[in-house]
Amino acid sequence: MEVRPIRPEEYLEAGRVTRHAYDEFVDPADSDWGGYLEEIGDVAGRAGRVPVLVAVEGGRVLGSASLETEEANLGDDPIEPGTANVRMLGVDPDARGRGAGRALLTACIGEARRAGKRAVTLHTTHDMHAALALYVSAGFVRDAARDWKVDETFTLTAYRLDF
């Protein structure tokens, strides 16, 4: 498996794969999910603004992740100076359990270190059990001060890894 910056010819497939990774978490009663799934799938739209990494094996995109900084972000969450923020990390459900998520997370941490950042942050939900286990096993700790209450029923929980 190779993890590297995305290539333009991979934008559509990476968008499809990343969107598919989030399908199981969609609440059909929540009308905001449709717009968020479109945002997740728009890899081309964010690739020009923030680094996007892909995990590829045998020419197949297994997953992707975006990495925001204060200098380059997607605009909906302020990025603390000196940190990078992992966004939209998703692995094709058919490829889960093979290390793609860990490889993408490790690559994001490496990119942040190379850029001189002192920490990596991210948000997730309590329903994303595999993602939570991955983040904790990588050394991330809760950062409750950065939790993001989307609405009355949905909160994104924050995690942080200092180095």
pLDDT digits (tens, 9 = 90+) for 89-110: 999 999 999 999 999 999 999 9
Q: What is the CATH architecture assignment of 2-162?
A: 3-Layer(aba) Sandwich (3.40)
Report the share of the chain in percent with pLDDT over 90. Answer: 77
Mean pLDDT along residues 37-58: 95
The 3-state secondary structure of the chain, one letter per residue? CEEEECCHHHHHHHHHHHHHHHHHHCCCCCCHHHHHHHHHHCHHHHHCCCCEEEEEECCEEEEEEEEEECCCCCCCCCCCCCEEEEEEEEECHHHCCCCHHHHHHHHHHHHHHHCCCCEEEEEECCCCHHHHHHHHHCCCEECHHHCEEEECCEEEEEEEEEC
Where along the chain do its domains lie? 2-162
The model carries a pTM of: 0.93
What pLDDT sits at residue 24?
87
